[in-house]
């Protein structure tokens, strides 16, 4: 069974740029959730994708957007990067639209300069 994978591992961007992060879900899972983990804090829910549709969103602005593909992999896009977007971005996959255990990937560390 393949676990959740994310790419890239690390990324450095400057303010105002755009970034795309990628996630491959664990085999057999059809739901992907994205979380932002700032240094020293717990992860915060950004949004979830289930069957290629957004299935819930946390308190993040519209410049955070996403996609899910037919193979259930997902992308997180962030436009107009701000310094406060520097964080670890975690992807989690699950079954049944998220009402089940979520399994996390290793994360992408984004630094915005």
Residues that bind other proteins (CB under 8 A): 31, 33, 35, 40-45, 48, 50, 55-56, 58, 90, 92, 97-99, 101-107
Q: Which DSSP category does 38 fall into?
A: -
Q: Is 50 exposed, middle or buried (0-12, 13-18, 19+ CB in 10 A)?
A: buried
The least CB distance from residue 43 to other proteins, in Å, is 5
Specify the DSSP class assigned to residue 37: E
Please report how close the Cβ of residue 42 comes to other proteins at its closest, in angstroms. Answer: 3
Q: Give the 3-state secondary structure of residue 84.
A: helix
Q: Which is nearer to other proteins, 38 or 80 (CB)?
A: 38
Nearer to other proteins, 24 or 31 (CB): 31
């Amino acid at each position: 069974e393949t676990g959740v994978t994310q790419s890239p591992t690390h990324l450095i961007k400057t303010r105002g740029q755009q970034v795309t992060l990628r996630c491959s879900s664990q085999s057999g899972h059809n739901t992907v959730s994205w979380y932002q983990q700032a240094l020293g804090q717990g992860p915060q829910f950004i949004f979830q994708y289930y069957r290629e549709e957004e299935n819930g969103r946390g308190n993040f602005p519209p410049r955070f957007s996403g996609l899910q593909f037919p193979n259930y992999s997902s992308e997180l896009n962030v436009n107009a990067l701000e310094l406060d977007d520097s964080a670890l971005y975690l992807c989690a996959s699950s079954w049944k639209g998220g009402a089940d255990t979520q399994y996390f990937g290793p994360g992408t560390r984004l630094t915005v300069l």
